[in-house]
Structure 1
Amino acid sequence: MPRPVKCRKVCHFPNVLEFLPSDDNEKKAPIVLSVDEYETIRLLDKKGYSQEQCAVSMQIARTTVQRIYEIARKKIADALIDGYPLRIEGGDIRICNGQSNNCNLGGCYKQEIYQKYAAKKGECTMRVAVTYENGQIFQHFGHTETFKIYDVQEGKVVHSEVVDTNGNGHGALAGVLNALNADVLICGGIGGGAQTALAAAGIKLFGGVSGNADEAVEAFMKGTLDYNADVKCSHHEHNHGEGHTCGMHGCGSHSCH
């Protein structure tokens, strides 16, 4: 019986999920790069980590890093040389919430957030996060500079505060929400990549909401919140979420979630 695959920790979800050749007349089937394969490219080639450092960050063996990296490089080479579309999705991964002491080899912005907000949240508390600006629901998830978080117990808000996103955007914001121990996100527009990242982090999405943030949370608690289950973000992406929003094993009952 084969050994079960160990989940690979990734810092954040990719901001861009699909790359297309400018001359795509042949409509070739895309080459699929998994998120853990993407992470080895980001850490080794972009960040300049050694394979040992990459293994520590992803919490897997160095030999596993080497194997994943070789597969990723081959896929990217095939896409570039033969002109295939490249799509990033899937993989046995979990989004980092800053809980690990060796997260990002020290200095991870999510560590401080996790340490602060994990202690504050009680067992019977639901934490609702809202993209926030001047009392209103900010309409583009990937560009939100602050979240307002609400701790809800027995249908009442017992605590709320505004939290800075530390300048992070798009895929990285799912990690911020994960570090905040958020259970629910209420927002306006949101792209397919961010939706996938939220699903991987186990955060329930209520998108397509506008208006006053406090009133939206009140409506959510009463079960009357007007939201769009099929929300799409028109600011960027090319319907990347269509057809593969739940390409992540973490979207279901897989042990990586």
Structure 2
Amino acid sequence: MKIAVPTRGNIVDDHFGHCEAYSVFTIDNNKNIENAELYPSPQGCGCKSNIASLLQEEGVTVMLAGNMGTGALNVLTGHRIKVYRGCSGNASKAVQDFLDGKIADSGEGCDHHQEGHQCNHEL
């Protein structure tokens, strides 16, 4: 299994489409993190980039994200990547929490055009 996390440093980035990179964690059969690789974020909005197809080609099936708009959610889902929004903090810890069954999708998206809206939900 491979899990992607939009990151800034080693922290889950609050905004999927504006992260520094995507950290891709390879998980072994015993639900342990076996490997982690960084994929630079493409320029521009995440929902309009090729990141979903790239992640799908790399075998990613799960995305743990802070927040994202409906466009990005639809693009990832269309590439058979299950999205869990509302994640925050250390990326490796978020992956481990997911593997331990402690993460569920917050169901809340991010509309960065809505004035005054902040996208930083805690689990």
Aligned length: 111
Q: Which of 92, 113, 117 does residue 236 from structure 1 map onto?
A: 113
Structure 2 distance, partners of 1:197, 1:161, is 22
Aligned twin of 2:73: 195
SS across alignment from 2:2: strand
Shift in Å at residue 159 of structure 1?
0.7
Q: Which of 140, 159, 164 does residue 15 from structure 2 map onto?
A: 140
User: Residue type of the partner of 2:9?
Assistant: N
Aligned twin of 1:15: none
Q: Percent identity among equivalent residues? A: 28
* Runs of 4+ in structure 1 over 3 Å off: none
Shift in Å at residue 133 of structure 1?
0.7
Aligned twin of 1:218: 96
In structure 2, runs of 5+ residues without a counterpart are 115-123
Contact 2:83 2:105 in 1 (8 A): no
- What CA RMSD, in Å, does the superposition of the two structures yield over aligned residues? 1.7
Q: Please state if 1:127 is matched with 2:2.
A: yes
Q: TM-score, normalised by structure 2?
A: 0.81
Structure 1 distance, partners of 2:17, 2:4, is 14
Give the structure, 1 or 2, with the largest relative contact order (CA under 8 Å, sep 6 or more).
2
Structure 2 distance, partners of 1:168, 1:146, is 13
Larger strand share, 1 or 2: 2
User: Residue type of the partner of 1:157?
Assistant: I
Q: TM-score, normalised by structure 1?
A: 0.41
In structure 1, runs of 5+ residues without a counterpart are 1-125, 238-257
Aligned twin of 1:170: 46
Structure 2 distance, partners of 1:205, 1:226, is 9
Shift in Å at residue 160 of structure 1?
0.7
Larger Rg: 1
Larger helix share, 1 or 2: 1
Structure 1 distance, partners of 2:113, 2:57, is 25
